[in-house]
Amino acid sequence: MPETRSMANGNGAAMRPTDNQKNKEEEENVFLFYPNLIVPLGASRVVLAFVSLYYMPIHPRTCTVLYSVSCLLDALDGYAARYFEQSTKFGAVLDMVTDRCTTTCLMVFLASAFPRYSIVFQALISLDLASHYMHMYATLSMGNGASHKKVDESRSKLLKLYYSDQRVLFTLCLMNELFFIALYLLSFSSPRLSPTLLQDPQSPSSLVAGSPAAPDPSKMFPSPWSAGAMEMARANKMDDRFPWVIFWISLPFMALKQFINGVQLVKASKWLAEGDIAERKRQGLPRKRDAKKVQ
């Protein structure tokens, strides 16, 4: 008869390990949690984002669809994390990093599409990255490893509302992305913002809105991703009425989102500074030295 391992209880009686005890001994693989799987696999957020970047200079409709679906998956992985009770620090950081990367890539394109306003997009990128990095670092280091979404109301009622109410968070993030998507579409459709799209009726080779570019871009530019081919793709314009509607609807939400980023940056900086002051006091800094009087 094969020998079986047993454990002794407090009375010395032998007990076999239960299935629950065996399961507890098995380590969980955080990388295989459902929310984290939504991000890197298959028809997922990161893959869709990269494919949208591939089409960004040459095919605005395809890019917009792929980029929008990628952004919507942001809400899906958060819902999955809460539903399956698999919220992790890795997932939170991965989610924020993905958000920052995709939005930054879009604004980099907008800076090249609207060079006159490139400094505005550079400022928005800097504010977005700095505020979220400072906020996450402050909450992890000063909040005993707490999630960046757990904001104490005493520090900021606005940030508390922003991170604790899923409706507010989703609406502002969605409208913020829609604003930049609308700008992206307008770079392909609005002569008001892109003077190179203006039609010259005196030129027989003018590029007419809504009609294929002439001559065929493939004959002029062998590489479809060249700067010239991008201009030809932009000349093959679409109706700009819908992007303008989205632009004006989302504008106030985008402005509020940027204001929250500014508040987030200031509050995180102050929180870290408070921690520095407390740490210096704990170390007895600055050290008081007896000043020698010079006779």
Active site residues: 99
Angle ∠(225,175,113) on CA atoms, nearest 5: 25
Packed helices 166-189 and 157-164: angle between N→C axes, nearest 10 degrees: 80
Burial 43-73 (b: 16+ CB within 10 A, else e): ebbbebbebbbebbbbbbeebbebbbebbeb
| Selection from 83, 54, 81 nearest residue 67 by Cα | 54
Distance set, CA 65 to CA 5, 59, 60 (Å): 58, 10, 9
Token pair 């957020």: residue: 45
Helical (H) or strand (E) element with 255? helix 241-282
Token pair for residue 248?
Answer: 């004006």
Instruction: Provide the phi-psi class of 153: left if phi over 0, else alpha when psi is between -120 and 50, else beta.
Output: alpha
- CA–CA distance, 276 with 283 (Å, rounded to integer): 11
